[in-house]
Structure 1
Amino acid sequence: MTTPRLSRAQKVDAATPDSRNRVVDFLRAAAITVVVLGHWTIVAVDADGGISPHGVLDTARWTHPLTWIFQVMPIFFLVGGYSNALSWRSARRKGVGYAQWLRTRLRRLGIPLLPLLIAWLVISVIALAAGAPNTALQLATQMALVPTWFLAAYLLVIVVAPPLLVLWERFAWWSIVGGIALAGVVDAVSIGLDQPLLGYPNYVLVWASFHQVGFAWLDGRLEGPARRLALVGIGAVGLALLVGLGPYPVSMITSGADEISNSSPTRVTMAFLGMLQAGLVLLLERPLTALLRRPRLWFVTVLVNQRIMTWFLWHLTALVGLSHLLLALGGIGLGPAPLSGIWWATRPLWALVLLALTGVMVLVFGRFEDPREDDRPAPPLWRPILAAVLVCAGLAVMADAGMVGPDGLHWIWPLLPILGMIAGGVIRLRGSRA
């Protein structure tokens, strides 16, 4: 009797250890899908040449409450907390030190970034030489590199993840409460003095504090519906008070219609949004676990996660490229006014075209998510720290202002992450042993 051949999906399912929490991978893949579709929807492009990164939010306040669903960056930090705690504890058991662990994490996140930065450097040089307006290139590079703000914030959280885990293991929930309280103080000073720059420490304080909810999930401190409902309640009440009685806007994504942004810089509201979202998705953990036992669904989840950085980093480049191509062709396909009936009816087609373009980019650049095995000795601590600082600095500026300014191309910002990864030993140069 012959043994039936297993499909590829069944082989992947069979090869997955029973100990793996499939919901973590699913939430990561689902969150990236929501982010990508959300970005492709809220950007408004019209045939007159206008491109507005948050055009839908700027013109329709009724869409602002929907951002409580579509602003899913907290989910990334939730699963990041789970994964980082798991990874660091595994490293400790194997005798792997902090510097080597951090370099490995930087390689996983930093190397896929390289082709994006180089591509936009080349595009900017060619476009400027061809006479493209600086303002148009500034907007194009800033829009295309918006995803890098998350990468910068996440890298900072990774740097402090091991000491955060120590705090969690010692103080448990108080470590989260303390971090959120400090973030509230930062907000009070920043908003009170009308100085957004003073709010930038909350990129670390808010996300590092909420990141620990992932530790709680891993450690079983959120088991049972009662605790998860309590998390939902804390998040919902906190958001209602901050938005209803405080100075914070309803929209959890930056909108030109609001004087204050909840996400740029990150505000304490994002921690409460995270608690609300985390409680809700964790209430679904059991049925999701059962669904993910289906080989096909699990196979799709694995595929998305294998190229998740590439999808995330390049999806807005596809949008910017397509928009400018259509504008160059006279605005064909950009006629429907944003939020009109025809505009909504054409969104599925718009998303499918962008999905195809992004898919090509994933096929071309996805291999950068599979760096060769790093068997070098552990580096001195200063090297991965230096790399993380320089990468975050360059990305933070470009996510806010792009690569091009009124005076031309700002070389330093895209080169800073590249030089940081070389100097920090994240990129393994040919023939290098360090």
Structure 2
Amino acid sequence: MTSTRLSRAEKVDAATPASRNRVVDFLRAAAITVVVLGHWTIIGVDADGGIQPHGVLDGAVWTHPLTWVFQVMPIFFLVGGYSNALSWRSARRKDVGYAQWLRARLRRLGIPLIPLLLAWLVIGVVAVAAGAPHATVQLASQMALIPTWFLAAYLMVILVAPPCLLLWERFGWWSIIGALALAGIVDAVSLVADQPLLGYPNYLLVWAAFHQFGFAWLDGRLAGAGRRLLLAGTGLAGLLLLVSAGPYPVSMITSAADDISNSSPTRITMAFLGMMQAGLVLSLEKPLTALLARARLWFVTVLVNQRIMTWFLWHLTVMVGLAHLLLALDARALLPEPLTGVWWATRPLWALVLLALTGVVVLVMGRFEDPRADDRPPPAMWKPIFAAVTVIAGLAVMASVGVVGESGVTWWWVLLPVAGMVGFGVVRLPMGR
């Protein structure tokens, strides 16, 4: 059995082009692992109080500085910038237009999303019909659909990636500095007016600006230990200044213990966090490259990336399902009081159980990450753009309010992304083939 695994690993290793930057794939896989384990730890389950969205952060303020390490969403945008720039430049060389390129990106990200949304539509309808309190179903769906806020933000960045790449190619670092300066103004207006809604443009501004550090990485503009450590130092200095002299909290993940959030809406602090993290991880690029030359480690990295969307999208649905099963059974022995010694001691077992259950879901749902080849002619420009807007709108709402409101299941928000992808031609129905 070992020889078979090694044989597969060696084949994957040999089939990988020498030009491929394996560190990009590794960082993506490592980041998703940190996100999954972090969610399974931060979200508490109390036998008496039910699901606690930010249980650890709310009850243990000492964990807040740790979020500077474990809030790794910036790493996704870093590797996304690298990959999207590489992909769009390849499309330009092959005379593939923006509409066709965008449709392909939407298919890669959107098709695995459809079964999750339909599953939660069914769960919401059945739970409400069975008499479950609306507030309970709403919280459960909110927790399960937390990953969709990232997907909504990432799709916004993909929409503007080609024009942002043009700005980067023409103006270089000034394209990043200008976007971050504008994001700082948006933040200031939002905070002074005490209106978080005014800060929502920073979901695009901050992440689109930081996404360009991936362009810089690809183009060699961050080469050398000196530049990378300077980037990390700039990020650290900016963070320390903002949280010590400014109104920003220490935690980079939303906590009820804080008056404002660094991530909802996205604040300028997330860009400085990303700079710090990017500088540090890129400083390790050379030893990571050497490690990833080993067939086994590279094989694991490839396997994770093959099903990365499924892992990411479903890991909290599995947790919410298990939590409600244990709550329904009143299994207090399996639900120790959060933050107690027993609770901390059982976290590894909790993670292993969830890992096994999520693995089963990945085996079943992972097929949606391998859609059939799309050989259709290029679409009209407006079609994939409208499809992306419907997906972003639906996901943004569900990430905030779940799938159930006071009056019942808000099915239109669940179906909006699905209808948009089908109606605007991103996904073909079987009869359309």
Shorter-normalised TM-score: what interval?
over 0.9
Q: Which residue number corresponds to residue 251 of structure 2?
A: 251
Q: Which residue number corresponds to residue 293 of structure 1?
A: 293
Q: Which residue number corresponds to residue 215 of structure 1?
A: 215
Task: Report the alpha carbon displacement of residue 157 of structure 1 after superposing the two structures with TM.
Answer: 0.2
Task: Report the alpha carbon displacement of residue 49 of structure 1 after superposing the two structures with TM.
Answer: 4.0
Decide whether the 8 Å contact of 1:35 with 1:70 is kept in 2.
yes
1:175-207 Cα shifts (integer Å, max 9, x gaps) = 000000000000000011010011000000000
Helix, strand or coil at the partner of 1:259: coil
Task: Report the alpha carbon displacement of residue 46 of structure 1 after superposing the two structures with TM.
Answer: 1.1
Closer, same or farther: CA 267–127 of 1 in aligned 2, 3 Å: same
Closer, same or farther: CA 50–98 of 1 in aligned 2, 3 Å: same
Asked whether 1:165 is paired with 2:165, we answer: yes
1:269-320 Cα shifts (integer Å, max 9, x gaps) = 0000000000000000000000000100000000000000000000000110
Helix, strand or coil at the partner of 2:346: helix
Helix, strand or coil at the partner of 1:131: coil
Task: Report the alpha carbon displacement of residue 5 of structure 1 after superposing the two structures with TM.
Answer: 11
Q: Which residue number corresponds to residue 81 of structure 1?
A: 81
Q: Which amino acid aligns with 2:218?
A: L
Q: Which residue number corresponds to residue 108 of structure 1?
A: 108
Paired residues for 1:124-203 under 5 Å: 124-203=124-203
Helix, strand or coil at the partner of 1:7: helix
1:329-349 Cα shifts (integer Å, max 9, x gaps) = 113444422111111110011
Q: Which residue number corresponds to residue 283 of structure 1?
A: 283
CA–CA distance in structure 2, aligned partners of residues 250 and 129 of structure 1: 42
Task: Report the alpha carbon displacement of residue 363 of structure 1 after superposing the two structures with TM.
Answer: 0.5
Q: Which residue number corresponds to residue 12 of structure 1?
A: 12
Task: Report the alpha carbon displacement of residue 430 of structure 1 after superposing the two structures with TM.
Answer: 2.3
Q: Which residue number corresponds to residue 32 of structure 2?
A: 32
Q: Which residue number corresponds to residue 237 of structure 1?
A: 237
CA–CA distance in structure 1, aligned partners of residues 229 and 410 of structure 2: 48
Helix, strand or coil at the partner of 2:158: helix
Decide whether the 8 Å contact of 2:46 with 2:52 is kept in 1.
no
Task: Report the alpha carbon displacement of residue 428 of structure 1 after superposing the two structures with TM.
Answer: 1.2
Q: Which residue number corresponds to residue 395 of structure 2?
A: 395
Closer, same or farther: CA 18–331 of 1 in aligned 2, 3 Å: same
Q: Which residue number corresponds to residue 316 of structure 1?
A: 316
CA–CA distance in structure 2, aligned partners of residues 270 and 382 of structure 1: 31
CA–CA distance in structure 1, aligned partners of residues 324 and 136 of structure 2: 10
Gaps of 5+ in 1: none
Moved over 6 A (4+): none
CA–CA distance in structure 1, aligned partners of residues 155 and 5 of structure 2: 43
Q: Which amino acid aligns with 2:17?
A: P
Paired residues for 1:363-374 under 5 Å: 363-374=363-374
CA–CA distance in structure 1, aligned partners of residues 164 and 183 of structure 2: 15
1:337-382 Cα shifts (integer Å, max 9, x gaps) = 2111111110011000100111011001000000000000000011
CA–CA distance in structure 2, aligned partners of residues 85 and 23 of structure 1: 16
CA–CA distance in structure 1, aligned partners of residues 381 and 205 of structure 2: 23
> What percent identity do the matched residue pairs reach?
78
CA–CA distance in structure 2, aligned partners of residues 333 and 197 of structure 1: 42
CA–CA distance in structure 2, aligned partners of residues 367 and 49 of structure 1: 37
Paired residues for 1:251-270 under 5 Å: 251-270=251-270
Q: Which residue number corresponds to residue 420 of structure 1?
A: 420
Taking structure 2 as the reference length, what is the TM-score of the superposition?
0.98
CA–CA distance in structure 2, aligned partners of residues 316 and 32 of structure 1: 13
Decide whether the 8 Å contact of 1:79 with 1:214 is kept in 2.
yes
CA–CA distance in structure 2, aligned partners of residues 283 and 202 of structure 1: 28
CA–CA distance in structure 2, aligned partners of residues 163 and 41 of structure 1: 39
Q: Which residue number corresponds to residue 118 of structure 1?
A: 118
Gaps of 5+ in 2: none
Task: Report the alpha carbon displacement of residue 58 of structure 1 after superposing the two structures with TM.
Answer: 0.5
Closer, same or farther: CA 89–60 of 1 in aligned 2, 3 Å: same
Deviates more, 1:40-49 or 1:412-421: 40-49
Decide whether the 8 Å contact of 1:45 with 1:334 is kept in 2.
no
CA–CA distance in structure 2, aligned partners of residues 285 and 84 of structure 1: 19
